């Protein structure tokens, strides 16, 4: 099967593409875009000032106006008012649907999806059923948290893979020490030498431990994966027979849309604003 997730070569091909320079840069860009959107702008402005003002950047006053946040939130207005959801002629089903959305925190997740969609020009949402709690869970996924495989002809979503971002993706945030802890930590702090991935297709659900290729004592060790059993699913089947994800893009092409320039524009604006503010401060002090 071309997309058989129990075929190691299929998984390795996907992960090889994930670790290619283009995919890695796209995931890194999406991580940086969210940092800037949420106002963590100083590290990026500092990096740019280091490049242009290597000797004097430490004396600059940093500007941190999040144009990215202002513009993205202005456009993300789909849930300014709670939508009316109903099933015509069936009050019981309407109440059940309302309960599903309420218990799954759907409204806030769809708000989040709206913002990320405007920020990245594409988005992915996961509808997960938690059997132990007997309820649905809606989760909007960051572009750097997932990879997708789509049909090259019609763009249909075929495979979704999830993992936490690696240190190669998050290193620009400068907030991590690369040490894994047992407690919850920042997504910007990841130093794992191997990665755990979970993949879904319409019919399959697998979990793998991925070890990247490396050199050992002068010999090249090829990338490899080990399948790990998912509790309660020894046959690695997707019992839903449908992907529990929805992918939306501003472009009908099966490829990712062109990167939104808003992040770079925000960094550039704040770099120039920092130079202006510093110049005014020096001038005022001189007077």
Q: Which two tokens stand for residue 61?
A: 């006053």
Is the pLDDT confidence value at 28 over 50?
A: yes
Q: Among positive and negative, which fits the CA dihedral 155, 160, 165, 166?
A: negative
**What is the pLDDT at residue 174?**
44
Query: Can you give the residue range of the structural domain that contains 75?
Result: 8-170+188-286
Average pLDDT, stretch 252-278?
91
Q: What is the pLDDT of residues 193-203, one digit of tens each?
A: 678 899 999 99
Contact 45, 267 (CB under 8 A): yes
Task: Decide if 65 is inside a domain.
Answer: yes
Task: Decide if 153 is inside a domain.
Answer: yes
Task: Decide if 271 is inside a domain.
Answer: yes
Question: Nearest Cα to 170, choosing from 15, 20, 27, 19?
Answer: 27
- Report field, pTM of the whole predicted structure over 0.75: yes
Task: Decide if 181 is inside a domain.
Answer: no
**What is the pLDDT at residue 76?**
76
> What span, in angstroms and rounded, lies between the C-alpha atoms of 233 and 225?
19
Task: Decide if 263 is inside a domain.
Answer: yes
Q: What is the pLDDT of residues 96-149, one digit of tens each?
A: 888 889 888 888 898 899 999 999 999 999 998 888 888 899 999 999 899 999
**What is the pLDDT at residue 11?**
95
Is the pLDDT confidence value at 10 over 80?
A: yes
Task: Decide if 182 is inside a domain.
Answer: no
Q: Which two tokens stand for residue 160?
A: 């979704």
**Total domain count for the chain?**
1
Task: Decide if 43 is inside a domain.
Answer: yes
Contact 28, 169 (CB under 8 A): yes
> What span, in angstroms and rounded, lies between the C-alpha atoms of 247 and 284?
52
Task: Decide if 25 is inside a domain.
Answer: yes
Q: Distance between alpha carbon 119 and the CA centroid of its chain, in Å?
A: 11
Which residues have C-beta within 8 Å of that of residue 138, sequence separation ≥ 6?
A: 101, 104, 105, 106, 109, 110, 125, 126, 127, 128
């Amino acid at each position: 099967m071309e997309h058989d997730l129990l075929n190691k070569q299929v998984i390795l091909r996907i992960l090889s593409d994930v670790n290619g320079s283009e995919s890695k840069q796209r995931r890194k860009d999406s991580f940086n875009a969210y940092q800037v959107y949420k106002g963590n702008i100083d590290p990026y402005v500092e990096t740019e000032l280091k490049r242009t003002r290597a000797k004097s950047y430490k004396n600059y006053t940093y500007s941190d106006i999040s144009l990215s946040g202002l513009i993205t939130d202005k456009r993300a207005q789909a849930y300014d008012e709670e939508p009316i959801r109903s099933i015509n002629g069936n009050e019981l089903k309407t109440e059940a649907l309302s309960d599903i959305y309420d218990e799954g925190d759907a409204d806030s997740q769809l708000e989040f999806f709206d913002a990320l969609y405007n920020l990245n020009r594409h988005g992915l949402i996961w509808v997960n059923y938690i059997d132990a709690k007997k309820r649905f869970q809606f989760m909007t996924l960051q572009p750097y948290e997932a990879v997708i495989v789509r049909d090259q002809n019609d763009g249909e979503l075929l495979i979704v893979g999830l993992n936490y971002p690696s240190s190669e993706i998050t290193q620009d945030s400068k907030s991590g020490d690369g040490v894994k802890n047992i407690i919850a930590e920042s997504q910007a702090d990841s130093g794992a030498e191997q990665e755990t991935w979970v993949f879904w297709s319409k019919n399959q659900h697998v979990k793998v431990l991925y070890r990247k290729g490396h050199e050992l004592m002068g010999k090249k060790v090829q990338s490899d994966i080990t399948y790990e059993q998912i509790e309660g699913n020894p046959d690695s089947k997707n019992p839903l027979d449908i992907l529990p994800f929805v992918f939306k893009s501003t472009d009908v092409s099966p490829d990712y849309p062109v990167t939104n320039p808003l992040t770079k524009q925000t960094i550039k604006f704040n770099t120039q604003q920092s130079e202006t503010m510093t110049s005014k401060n020096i001038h005022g002090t001189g007077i």
